[in-house]
Structure 1
Amino acid sequence: MTPEEHRAWLEAALAILAARDDVVGVVAMGSTADPTRVDEWSDHDVAIIVVPGAEGRYVGQVDWMPESHRIVLTLEEYHGGGKAVYDDGHLVEWGVATVESLGTWAADGYAVLLDRGGVADVMTKAVSTPFPANVPDATRDAAMFLTALLHGVGRARRGESLSAGDIIRGDAVHALLRAARTRSHKDLSALDRLDGLRRVELALPDLAAQISAAIAEEPEHAARAMLGIAERYLGVGASGLNPAGRKAIMRRLGWPEGS
């Protein structure tokens, strides 16, 4: 999908939604809100704000989408809204809310495309609402990183490679990146407020490259490499990795110093 096609789809969807009396507002999210970020892999991500009681007309429903007859795959998400895929692979993600329930959301980049009352004000609050899973805390995140390594390697040694990989490549990576944010003096405005893995390559390219190389290894090798990365970026001590915790985990796993 070209940027022009991306814009045309959004304009067509907005025209359909604006013609409906039960729609109070439409908000573009993420790259959908910022044309400069649109490329061939960009999906559409929108929030549809409706009058109370109309949510069911849009949760998992696709009749508001342009050329909806071309949609080949749909799903209703647990939190409301849904995802849909067109026959050319174009992906659409949407959420549904009333103005009141929209106030419980957290958001990153957005653009209000339609506002029939209160939407812009609520979105101003949403974009400043902390998202707990991505709020860094140096001490907590360094400890979470170490425990994730111990947990993950233990699973690997039991033969549970899939679970081990998920912990090491997921929990440990997220914790390390959150902790690294508290130590970095670089401009981190490119990072996503909600997803700690989004655009790390732009904000922290060296760290992102090292982590990517590490997690390409099998789980225990990945974990050992990740520990080395954390030592370099966070240090070992009061403001970094807990020295006693690090030592205990290395002893438990049989990892020699300097390996």
Structure 2
Amino acid sequence: MHPMLRRLDDLATHLAVRPDTVALLGLGSAGVDHDRLDEHSDLDFFLVVADGAVARYVAETDWLAAPCPVAYSFANERNGRKARYADGIFVEYAVFTVAELSRLPFTGARVVWQRPDAPPGLADAGAPAPPPTPYDTVEFHLNEALTNLYVGLHRELRGERLTAARFIQTYAVDRALALVRLTEPGGHRRDPFDPSRRVEQAYPPEVLPLAEMVPGYLHNRAAARAMLDWLQARFPVDPVIGGAVRELLAR
């Protein structure tokens, strides 16, 4: 058994003797897709507790330390913490009641442990993911990417290099990921909450040249040129905005 799965099992053994706990759910690579676990994985989970117990389980970490001492932790949101065990296992978790869990969008959860009288279907209790918006189209993502380049290059020329990098090497790249999702067959397991996960496994550099699109803080113009070339090679770029971006690149 992978050490992280064993850690969850050991944690569940401790939680089972606490009267105010309901269930422990593994998420991400500790969920139903736990075959993805490797030495670089962190351990994500939900702890489901009785009404009124959430704040205590977020504030206190004695229960978390039952299988192994906790060397570092901090509250990163109202319902959860990030922590690192003394043996190097890094965890990110959140604590909810059954009612709160039912209102959360999540997928791929696995029941590690639950009380015999816990409500059925906790791993599938999450609210459905929001449906695609009317703007999840090639036209929308293409033009968002082009206008990201346009705004980013203006900020680069103004000397605002960091915000330029975000527009050119982050926002526009996000739109490129959406474009390949819509137009290229991908056999990888997409993360519905983070489109950047595992894209290198799905798209080779000749399809998605990320090294050229994201060359770094000092190379915004090169990144914008690579992105524009990539867009124009694959999609019908409007000549007005495409020409405007080319003019900025020539300045």
TM, length-normalised to structure 2? 0.84
Match of 1:80 in 2: 79
Conserved in 2, the CA contact under 8 Å of 1:22 and 1:51? yes
Which letter does structure 1 place at the counterpart of 2:242?
R
User: What CA distance in whole angstroms lies between the structure 2 residues aligned with 1:13 and 1:147?
Assistant: 49
| 3-state SS, counterpart of residue 77 of structure 1 | strand
Match of 2:112 in 1: 113
Conserved in 2, the CA contact under 8 Å of 1:136 and 1:181? no
Alignment of 1:196-235 (within 5 A): 196-206=195-205, 210-217=209-216, 218-233=219-234, 235=235
The ranges of structure 1 where at least 4 consecutive aligned residues each deviate by more than 4 angstroms after the TM superposition are: none
Match of 2:245 in 1: 249
Cα deviations across residues 24-51 of structure 1 (Å, max 9, x unaligned)?
2211111012331111111110011122
Deviation at 1:128, TM superposition (A): 4.1
1:28 aligned residue (18, 26, 29): 26
Deviation at 1:155, TM superposition (A): 2.2
Alignment of 1:50-199 (within 5 A): 50-66=49-65, 70-116=69-115, 117-118=118-119, 120-121=121-122, 123-124=123-124, 126=126, 128-130=128-130, 136-187=136-187, 189-199=188-198
| 3-state SS, counterpart of residue 209 of structure 2 | helix
Deviation at 1:129, TM superposition (A): 1.5
Which letter does structure 2 place at the counterpart of 1:232?
A
Deviation at 1:132, TM superposition (A): 6.8
Relative to structure 1, the CA distance from residue 161 to residue 254 in structure 2 (aligned partners, 3 Å threshold; closer, same or farther) is closer
Relative to structure 1, the CA distance from residue 140 to residue 52 in structure 2 (aligned partners, 3 Å threshold; closer, same or farther) is farther
* More displaced stretch, 32-41 vs 103-112: 103-112
Which letter does structure 2 place at the counterpart of 1:229?
W
Which letter does structure 1 place at the counterpart of 2:157?
R
Relative to structure 1, the CA distance from residue 4 to residue 61 in structure 2 (aligned partners, 3 Å threshold; closer, same or farther) is same
What is the total number of aligned residue pairs between the two structures?
A: 245
Which letter does structure 2 place at the counterpart of 1:14?
A
| 3-state SS, counterpart of residue 63 of structure 2 | coil
User: What CA distance in whole angstroms lies between the structure 2 residues aligned with 1:101 and 1:31?
Assistant: 23
Identity %: 29
User: What CA distance in whole angstroms lies between the structure 1 residues aligned with 2:107 and 2:18?
Assistant: 27
Which letter does structure 1 place at the counterpart of 2:224?
A
Deviation at 1:247, TM superposition (A): 2.8
Q: Which runs of 5+ in 2 are unaligned?
A: none
Which letter does structure 2 place at the counterpart of 1:22?
D
User: What CA distance in whole angstroms lies between the structure 2 residues aligned with 1:174 and 1:205?
Assistant: 17
Q: Which runs of 5+ in 1 are unaligned?
A: none
